[in-house]
Structure formats: C-alpha cells, structure tokens
C-alpha cells in the first residue's frame, strides 16, 4: 500500500479471500494510528449528500474515473483484537473505505463510473487486459 502510494487496500487485491480492508489515516486528525484496519466491515449509515470525484486504484494503474459516493458513512467493523468498533468517516476516508469495501464484494471502481467516464476508460482497461494476458496467458496470478 505504501509502495504504491495507495489510500487503502483490500485483502482480495493481494490474494486473500477474507473481509479485511486497511485505510491510510496519516492525514486524519481524528484517528490516532497511521492506518485503520477493518475486519468484516459493514456500512450502517450513509449520508444523503453525495460527492462525485475522480478515483484511481492500484488494481488498474493509470485508470481514473468519476465515481459518485456518499459524503459521510458510518461503518461497524471488528479490529485486529476482535472488538467491534463504530467508525464515522467523512471526506477522503469515507471515499477510501467505500472503495476498498467494494473490492470485498468483487466490485471494481470502473463498474460504478458514470457512462461518460466508462467510455473514456474502456480503452485503458482493454489495454491493461491485453497486457495481463500477454504476461499471464494461463490467467494465473
């Protein structure tokens, strides 16, 4: 996550089929640690106010598109000690948490793009797919 300068990462992105996300919180004044680890996270509340911003993802290098997401969310999740915590997140942290939690459901961010953004990113996605197939013709990771 640090090497890629990512705001977060989900376990499935690195080959683990578990419900775990890590969010970089270094810039947050309200969270004491450098990262927020959430196990079995669940959004329990979302604001009606939404924001449409450009997102990227380490799974899709150099691909960016606008995604609309709630501005604020409340998440219930276990920590590494098994304790259930409630996290009230807004702004960048809310967006990063939602993005990473999408990975837990098998949803990639381009799938949520508006139609115009989708059209713009398709050539890049096709080029990435071609590159992947050239490097891994067997389809293995």
End-to-end distance of the chain based on CA atoms, in angstroms?
Answer: 18
Nearest alpha-carbon partner for 10 in 25, 23, 28: 23
From 24, 8, 6, 2, select the one nearest 102 (Cα to Cα): 8
Quick check: is 62 catalytic? no
The answer to whether 41 touches 63, Cβ cutoff 8 Å, is no
Residues 132, 7, 73: CA angle, nearest 5 degrees: 115
Catalytic residue among 4, 27, 54, 100: 100
The upper half-sphere exposure of residue 99, i.e. CA atoms within 13 Å in the direction of its Cβ, equals 32
Catalytic residues: 100
């Amino acid at each position: 996550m640090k090497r890629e300068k990512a705001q977060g990462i989900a376990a499935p992105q690195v080959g683990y089929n578990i419900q775990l996300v890590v969010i970089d919180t270094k810039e947050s004044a309200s969270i004491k640690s450098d990262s927020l680890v959430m196990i079995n996270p669940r959004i329990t509340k979302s604001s009606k106010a939404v924001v449409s911003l450009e997102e990227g993802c380490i799974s899709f290098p150099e691909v960016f598109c606008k995604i609309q997401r709630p501005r604020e969310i409340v998440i219930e999740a276990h920590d590494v000690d098994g304790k259930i915590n409630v996290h009230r997140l807004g702004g960048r942290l809310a967006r990063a948490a939602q993005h990473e939690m999408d990975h837990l459901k098998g949803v990639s961010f381009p799938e949520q793009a508006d139609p115009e953004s989708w059209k713009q990113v398709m050539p890049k996605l096709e080029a990435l797919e071609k590159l992947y197939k050239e490097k891994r013709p067997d389809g293995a990771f």
